[in-house]
Amino acid sequence: GYSVKLGQWDHYVVVYDVSASNPQGVKHNEKGQEIRYRGAVTLYVNGKKVGQNNHCFNPQPIPTVANWLGRSRYQGDPHFKGWMDDFRIYDRKLSASEVQSLYKLGAN
């Protein structure tokens, strides 16, 4: 439900709430292992909530080596064509007011 606007800076925050209820149930991966859907993801743009989705898989405790910013692990996917000024990973869920405060820090 949100379209990226070209030619302008925006502040994006994605919050994963592992404790949120999730009615999606269970899926089986390529190896036939059961993977439970868990939690919800919320997208904030410029301090405002613009979307939420609960199509989230329970994080798996396996190491990965294919982690990039601005590109996909799939060769046919285009690379990100833009600039990133700041990237952070927190070890907890941020509240809506914390997201708003972070946006205001960079909006000055």
Which pLDDT tens digit goes with each residue over 84-108?
A: 888 998 989 999 999 999 999 886 5
Q: Report pLDDT digits (tens) over 26-35.
A: 888 888 888 7
What is residue 58's predicted lDDT score, i.e. its pLDDT? Answer: 67
pLDDT value at 50 more than 90: yes
Neighbouring C-alpha atoms within 13 Å toward the C-beta of 11 = 15
**Highest averaged pLDDT of the listed ranges 11-20, 30-39, 59-68:** 11-20
Contact 37, 28 (CB under 8 A): no
d(CA 100, CA 61): 31
Q: 31: number of CA atoms within 13 Å, CB side? A: 3
- Taking residues 68-91, what's their average pLDDT? 89
* For the chain, percent of residues with pLDDT exceeding 70: 94
The pLDDT value recorded for residue 38 is 82
DSSP secondary structure string for all residues of 43-73: EEETTEEEEEE---BPPPS---S---SS--S
Determine the pLDDT at residue 7: 87
* Closest by Cα among 18, 4, 16, 14 to 43: 14
Short-list 8, 100, 5, 101, CA closest to 47: 100
Mean pLDDT over the full length of the chain: 86
